[in-house]
Structure 1
């Protein structure tokens, strides 16, 4: 159950980012039932890739860049999150999932949107204490 919640949280963040930003998108129809049918599986697979990148690669990058994170008062974390989203788009392209992030600024704003949506989902769900 925890895995499903984790996956759906990333998927919700990606869906909101793709809806709000023209530079983050999935290939396929742009509206209606066909959009939902054709984009749900790629959305879930890209969410899985983003989750794996965030779980395994991002902590290593953060550890290696810790002095610079401290020096920039945490601003570098935004850049790291944007780069992880761009890496996710590259990996999704390698698997032909039709997910695209056009440029660094779209990745930066998209990573902020994904983070805010994730916070909202975690606040809305009951805690498991």
Structure 2
């Protein structure tokens, strides 16, 4: 038997394609599941060019464009080298945004998820009432 995640058993036969999922494009920032999680992309990036020469994300999220675009600024860590030296521009190692940041689609999860936030496990925040 072929596991569900590996596709149909008959690789040479014709298999109808599933419909493309609908992207979540509500432009609402999503809560992060854990500290330092890269934020997800809450808008469509279809047609965005992301290459060595062009990065469409930076046209809104780079520090000098955020006010006019109304977009959140990329983290200051994206302007640092591995040795924590500040740069005048985005670090080449942080240039390809979709290596860490991803859009979200309205799909059924491939595997079950039993993640629970610490607050749901009875752990209280320090200094809480």
Q: Whose strand fraction is larger, Structure 1's or Structure 2's?
A: 1
Structure with max Cα Rg:
2
Bigger relative contact order, structure 1 or 2 (CA pairs below 8 A, ≥6 apart)? 1
Q: Whose helix fraction is larger, Structure 1's or Structure 2's?
A: 1
Smaller-chain TM-score range? under 0.3
